[in-house]
Amino acid sequence: MSRFNARKGALLLGAGLSVLSFATAALAQEASSTALDEIVVTAERRSENLQKVPVSVAVVGGDQLRAVTADGGDILALSGKVPSFYAESTTGRIFPRFYIRGLGNIDFYLGASQPVSIIQDDVVLEHVVLKSNPVFDVKQVEVLRGPQGSLFGRNTTAGIVKFDTNRPTQTLEGRASASYGTYGTTTFDGGIGGPIVADKLAFRVSALYQHRDDYVDNTFAGTSADGTVTPKKNAMGGFDEKDVRIQLLATPTEQLTVLASAHARNYEGTSTLFLRGALKKGSNSSSAPRDSVAFDEADNNPQAYDTQGASLNIAYDFGPVTLTSISAYETTSGYSRGDTDGGAAANFGGIGFGQSMGQVRDLDQLTQEIRLASNGDDRLKWQVGALYFDSRDTTDFFQRAYFIKTNPNNWVELHNLNTSWAVFGQVSYKLTDALTVTGGLRDTYDAKKTVLAKTANTAANVSTYTGRRYVRLSDEQVSWDLSANYEVNPDLNLYARVAKGFRGPTIQGRSAVFNSDFTTANSETILSWEAGFKSTLLDNTLRLNASAFTYEVKDIQLNGNDSNGNGVLFNADKAKAYGLEADAEWRPVANLTLTAGVSLLHSEIDDKRVYAQVCALNGVVVCTVKNPTIKVGANTFAQIDGQPLPNAPKYNFSFTGRYDVPVGADGKLFVATDWNVQGYTNFVLYKTDEFYSKGNFEGGLKLGYEGGNGAYEVALFGRNITNEKNLKGVIENYMAAVYNEPRIVGISVSAKLK
């Protein structure tokens, strides 16, 4: 693991001083305009100026996102780019896990529930595989922090990540970006569209292609029990991502708008590589290489998924009000297989063979939303609506004996059903020219059902499972929020918000593959308070927004491990947190733009009765546990009262800078850089000397030329330019490490047609 030492501090300081030196030089140049552009968001389902919305919102533009994914990065590239937002995965590119203000879910179960919702083009994506849908030809990303139950998707206790793609236009428009770099990393992200029938029908076609060569060697030279080809050079680490989206926009009358969209994804790649023994007891340092492993099983960790979806967004403007209907369908199927012990058991005294595969045989998600909203800019604005959500899947889990052909029955089949409905409304009233009060209300019913359709039987096909084969949980609760925004002057707004949200009950069925009963967790609720300001300063050259927050989650859903390393769901009494987040954008001169973001967080679990099983292999505790422990049979459990929430960084700091040097009448050379520093982050529920990160950082750099007044760009880029080997996750019982992506350097080109 990389520690934030003096050398790394000097690198960051040097980067900052370099950009500031550009600023000093630029002050001598004549600036044509330094005013910041207005940012328009739809955080309240209306197009509004970011500075007027009484919600903590962070915005990432499409060009910004594409710049940080030129290395083939996926949705995880957003992690740390905005305050209070973190993302990670221990299941490759098909299972991202998101955290806002420290709230998330570390469960790797394919049916896991997450407190962060993903909304793409007004459609909620709830299943963990659907949340990995690539984001391409994007217009803007909005991160809404805090409970967001009143208006979007389903209930969410942590927040929402909202992606809006470029839509069809009545003028011919297009954009494309492509790159090539280390390990054969190749990307293309583009879209083009325009009118089919003038003022009546328009289209847009968008596509994404990402590829990386396999670059990780499998050095295991022994005998593989399942026939995995070893040793093998360039055995894994690569991927192929192919995606397409087609949109048709019909405006048969001035009042009626119909947007039809369809998309498809084909993905093949490598699941997360666990590096067994990379962490030594008593130490947080890891020296294991990134480009070689010694896996004896699991066919070099393949994974693949195919996803398709379609939506129909119909809006009719009646004048005073607009009625909107959003219908959507998503389906996916695929698998992910991995060497779960992260090494070769033969290299560890013959202890701890492990591999598994999760497979979504079929998943179907259907959503229907209807919303009626007032129009105009009157003192009173309102909207009401209803949502129906239905998700059902058949999911299989396979264990080692199936693959080594000693037990063809060593797998389970689960049928999962999640249905939910909600009615919601929001009213906003301008009490005075300066003071606006907004209130929202939502009644939600959420039901989950899991059926064990096939048990993990013995080799003789005899079932030894004694647990439940059918579990159904449901709950209905009311969520609400109340906020006030006070305009001190056109350049300064103060706001305060209080919100209650809830996350429905959850079922963990994967444990049946170990002949263990299902585990469940009841609903959790959150009460969140925040207050902040949004300001534009220095003649609109500096945008500075900040908020302070505190929340309490009652009956918080947590995930630990059992003796098989399998996820176990449970509720703790509560968790509390408080913190601060701020972001700024400054254009001191016309050719220089600086941004910075910071988040500070203190979180803790509050329940003296709850214990979590610690790192153990064959009954032996393999890590250094700092909490009080108890023994239950052969297992050791640690008290987690007072511990921070897992994957909740104590602080996060991000910085970007771009300086342009005009060349000729319509061109400019530029240098751009971005950096992120992450504070102490615990990966598990208990405290150890091993399972955390502290001072992780990454930097990016881009040097290029932009011509034709922004019509095209050619650049050299580097991601993770210092090649930091940051610890991003662990497998406790195998002392295994999960690393971040390696350094990628290359060339990129982009063009726009307007």
pLDDT digits (tens, 9 = 90+) for 108-120: 888 888 999 999 9
Q: Which residue would you say has higher pLDDT here, 149 or 383?
A: 383
Instruction: Give the model's pLDDT for residue 109.
Output: 83
Percent of the chain scoring above 70 in pLDDT: 95
| Average pLDDT, integer, range 171-180 | 97
Say how far residue 109 (Cα) sits from the centre of its chain: 16
Instruction: Give the model's pLDDT for residue 33.
Output: 63
Where does the pLDDT of residue 8 fall: very low under 50, low under 70, confident under 90, or very high at 90 and above? very low
Instruction: Give the model's pLDDT for residue 46.
Output: 75
Q: Which of these, 86, 127, 89, 80, lies nearest to 108 by C-alpha position?
A: 89
Where does the pLDDT of residue 540 fall: very low under 50, low under 70, confident under 90, or very high at 90 and above? very high
pLDDT at 564 over 70: no
Q: How many residues does the chain have?
A: 754
Where does the pLDDT of residue 96 fall: very low under 50, low under 70, confident under 90, or very high at 90 and above? very high
* pTM score of the predicted model: 0.93
Instruction: Give the model's pLDDT for residue 554.
Output: 97
Instruction: Give the model's pLDDT for residue 12.
Output: 39
Superfamily of segment(s) 6-753: TonB-dependent receptor, beta-barrel domain (2.40.170.20)
- Kindly report which listed range (8-12, 61-65, 322-326, 427-431) carries the lowest average pLDDT score: 8-12
The residue extents of the domains of the chain are: 6-753
pLDDT at 600 over 60: yes
Cα dihedral: 114, 115, 120, 123 (round 10): 90
Q: Which of these, 317, 305, 297, lies nearest to 256 by C-alpha position?
A: 317
Instruction: Give the model's pLDDT for residue 42.
Output: 79
For residue range 342-373, what is the model confidence (pLDDT) as tens digits? Answer: 999 999 988 989 999 999 999 999 999 999 99
- Kindly report which listed range (15-29, 461-475, 512-526, 705-719) carries the lowest average pLDDT score: 15-29
Q: Across the chain, what does the average pLDDT equal?
A: 92
For residue range 213-223, what is the model confidence (pLDDT) as tens digits? Answer: 999 999 999 99
Instruction: Give the model's pLDDT for residue 17.
Output: 39
Instruction: Give the model's pLDDT for residue 127.
Output: 93
Where does the pLDDT of residue 459 fall: very low under 50, low under 70, confident under 90, or very high at 90 and above? very high
| Tokens standing for residue 624 | 């250094």
Instruction: Give the model's pLDDT for residue 345.
Output: 92
For residue range 388-412, what is the model confidence (pLDDT) as tens digits? Answer: 999 999 999 999 999 999 999 999 9
Instruction: Give the model's pLDDT for residue 155.
Output: 76
What whole-number distance in Å separates Cα of residue 399 and Cα of residue 299?
Answer: 14
pLDDT at 431 over 80: yes
Instruction: Give the model's pLDDT for residue 48.
Output: 82
Where does the pLDDT of residue 497 fall: very low under 50, low under 70, confident under 90, or very high at 90 and above? very high
For residue range 63-73, what is the model confidence (pLDDT) as tens digits? Answer: 999 999 999 99
Cβ partners under 8 Å of residue 347, min gap 6: 220, 294
Residue 178: C-alpha distances to residues 193, 271, 311, 714 (Å): 18, 25, 28, 10
pLDDT at 179 over 70: yes
What whole-number distance in Å separates Cα of residue 752 and Cα of residue 706?
Answer: 11
Neighbours of 191 (CB within 10 A): 24
pLDDT at 303 over 80: yes
The SS3 call for residue 14 is: helix
What whole-number distance in Å separates Cα of residue 84 and Cα of residue 528?
Answer: 15
pLDDT at 18 over 60: no
| Average pLDDT, integer, range 285-300 | 94
Angle at CA of residue 429, ends 425 and 430, nearest 5°:
160
What whole-number distance in Å separates Cα of residue 399 and Cα of residue 675?
Answer: 41
Where does the pLDDT of residue 32 fall: very low under 50, low under 70, confident under 90, or very high at 90 and above? very low
